[in-house]
């Protein structure tokens, strides 16, 4: 497994690429050139690291979850505490990196799509800090179930634009953000929130998120003297997962991506693209996709708005086909149980997205030996999910 992937056209094996309207081609080329130059520029890297430290609150700690470990009765369970980042999730890492890049390119207007609202809040936060105009597209169904994040984005000075089309969730918000970008491409940078989209987005998002894995790898060595046996992360588009996975590619470490099985894979009401889909093109790249026989993208369901997306980043598709990472799924019900368990046993209220990873890590730890270590990416905190959980708990 080489860090050299993808190739210059953004291909991870057969996956990835740039399936976009011609109007965006020049912008994507400009972005690729700007990103390549920025990552080689010490000034850019220093600014990113400085603001990650002083603004985002990095590094985040790793934490041994003793009572969950005891409950599982096997391997030690550790959390990478991305929930402690400013704005409450790993999303700030990518938002900061891309907005810094947009500034370098002289773009004064920023747009984003958001599902759970965590990415939208992160982008609105960084735009507020730099005085940039910010517009966030959000499906009306998501606006209803994540009302607090809508309020936060507006407090931060962003415009939140409701998306009424299609399934009224993240997929449609992404369509609408792309349409805005096609229209305003000369002045606007589109900050995609996950490791999806046309090249260079998946690569760029991995670059800005891989700080998670680099920190976690070094911290685990300091705290335990060894590498984890397995790293577990939830996968919607897959940005927190790719961020924690990438620095472990060359290590003998199991990488496990947990998709949202919603009401169960057989129900059809789920969002497990790799486990339950087949390859296709959506939002600019070729990857696993939930689609019907006719190539129409299917409606998805997950209790977690951040995982409620029919596609997945092309690098995950590649890791799956290469058997370098395993992809599994967890239902709404299992995720909710892990949410409650983690709150009660550890004093940490996890995001419903991250609860999927915990729900898989518990039985995994039970199968492993006491000297094994399972590292879970606790990608975000659950404050935004309280209404949903309260509703689900009746």
Partner 1 sequence: MSRIAATFARLGAQGRLGLIAYLTVGYPRLDATPALVEAAAESGADAIELGIPFSDPLADGRTIQAASQQALKGGVTVGRALEAASAARKKTEVPLLFMTYLNPILAFGLERFCRAATEAGVDGLIVPDLPPAESVDLRRAADASHIDLVFFVAPTSSETGIVAACRAATGFIYCIAVTGVTGARPELDPALLPLIETVRRHTNLPIVVGFGISRVEHLKALEGKADGVIVASALLDAIARAPEDPAGQVRRFLSDLRRPAAG
The catalytic residues are 91, 113, 379
Q: Which residues contact 276 (CB under 8 A, 6 or more apart)?
A: 259, 265, 270, 290, 329
The least CB distance from residue 201 to partner 1, in Å, is: 14
Separation of alpha carbons 227 and 225, rounded Å: 7
The least CB distance from residue 116 to partner 1, in Å, is: 20
The least CB distance from residue 191 to partner 1, in Å, is: 17
Separation of alpha carbons 370 and 221, rounded Å: 17
Sign of CA dihedral 39, 41, 45, 47: negative
The least CB distance from residue 66 to partner 1, in Å, is: 46
Residues found in the chain: 394
By beta-carbon proximity to partner 1, the closer residue of 29 and 387 is: 29
By beta-carbon proximity to partner 1, the closer residue of 231 and 289 is: 289
Q: What are the beta bridge partners of residue 63?
A: 79
- What is the β-pairing status of strands 11-12 and 15-16? antiparallel
By beta-carbon proximity to partner 1, the closer residue of 121 and 196 is: 196
By beta-carbon proximity to partner 1, the closer residue of 125 and 285 is: 285
Q: Which ranges in the chain belong to alpha helices (H)?
A: 22-39, 42-51, 66-72, 91-104, 118-130, 140-145, 147-155, 170-184, 201-209, 211-224, 239-245, 273-276, 314-321, 332-346, 352-367, 386-392
By beta-carbon proximity to partner 1, the closer residue of 19 and 130 is: 19
Let me know: does 63 contact 193? Beta carbons within 8 Å.
Answer: no
By beta-carbon proximity to partner 1, the closer residue of 102 and 298 is: 298
Separation of alpha carbons 334 and 359, rounded Å: 6
The least CB distance from residue 333 to partner 1, in Å, is: 28
- What is the β-pairing status of strands 133-139 and 62-64? unpaired
The least CB distance from residue 171 to partner 1, in Å, is: 7
- Give the binding site for partner 1 (CB under 8 A): 9, 17-27, 29, 165-166, 171-172, 175, 178-179, 182-183, 185-186, 280-284, 289, 291, 293-297
By beta-carbon proximity to partner 1, the closer residue of 178 and 351 is: 178
Separation of alpha carbons 243 and 94, rounded Å: 10
Q: What's the DSSP call for residue 164?
A: -
Let me know: does 328 contact 230? Beta carbons within 8 Å.
Answer: no
The least CB distance from residue 17 to partner 1, in Å, is: 5
């Amino acid at each position: 497994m080489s860090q050299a992937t993808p190739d210059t056209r953004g291909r991870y094996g057969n996956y990835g690429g740039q399936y976009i309207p011609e109007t965006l081609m020049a912008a994507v080329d400009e972005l690729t050139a700007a990103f390549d130059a920025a990552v080689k520029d010490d000034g850019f890297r220093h600014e990113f690291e400085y603001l990650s430290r002083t603004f985002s609150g990095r590094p985040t700690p790793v934490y041994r979850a003793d009572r969950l470990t005891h409950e599982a009765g096997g391997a030690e369970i550790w959390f990478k505490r991305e929930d402690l980042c400013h704005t409450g999730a790993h999303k700030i890492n990518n938002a900061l990196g891309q907005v810094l890049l947009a500034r370098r390119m002289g773009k004064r207007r920023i747009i984003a799509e958001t599902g759970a609202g965590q990415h939208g809040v992160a982008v609105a936060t960084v735009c507020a800090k730099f005085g940039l105009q910010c517009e966030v597209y959000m499906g009306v169904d998501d606006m209803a179930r994540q009302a607090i994040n809508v309020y936060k984005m507006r407090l931060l000075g962003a415009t939140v634009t409701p998306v009424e089309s299609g399934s009224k969730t993240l997929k449609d918000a992404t369509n609408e953000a792309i349409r805005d970008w096609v229209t305003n491409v000369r002045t606007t940078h589109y900050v995609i929130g996950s490791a999806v989209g046309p090249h260079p987005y998946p690569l760029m998002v991995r670059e800005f998120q891989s700080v998670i894995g680099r920190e976690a790898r070094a911290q685990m060595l300091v705290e335990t003297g060894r590498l984890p046996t397995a790293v577990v992360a939830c996968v919607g588009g897959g940005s927190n997962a790719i961020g924690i996975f990438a620095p472990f590619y060359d290590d003998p470490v199991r990488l496990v991506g947990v998709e949202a099985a919603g009401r169960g894979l057989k129900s059809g009401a789920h969002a497990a693209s790799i486990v339950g889909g087949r390859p296709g093109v959506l939002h600019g790249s070729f990857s696993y996709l939930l689609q019907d026989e006719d190539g129409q993208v299917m409606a998805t369901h997950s209790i977690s708005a951040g995982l409620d997306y029919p596609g997945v980043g092309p690098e995950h598709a590649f890791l799956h086909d290469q058997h370098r990472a395993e992809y599994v799924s967890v239902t709404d019900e299992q995720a909710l149980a892990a949410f409650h368990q983690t709150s009660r046993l550890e004093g940490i209220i996890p995001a419903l997205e991250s609860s999927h990873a915990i729900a898989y890590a518990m039985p995994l730890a039970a199968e492993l030996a006491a000297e094994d270590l399972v590292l879970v990416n606790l990608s975000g905190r659950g404050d935004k999910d309280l209404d949903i959980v309260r509703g689900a708990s009746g």
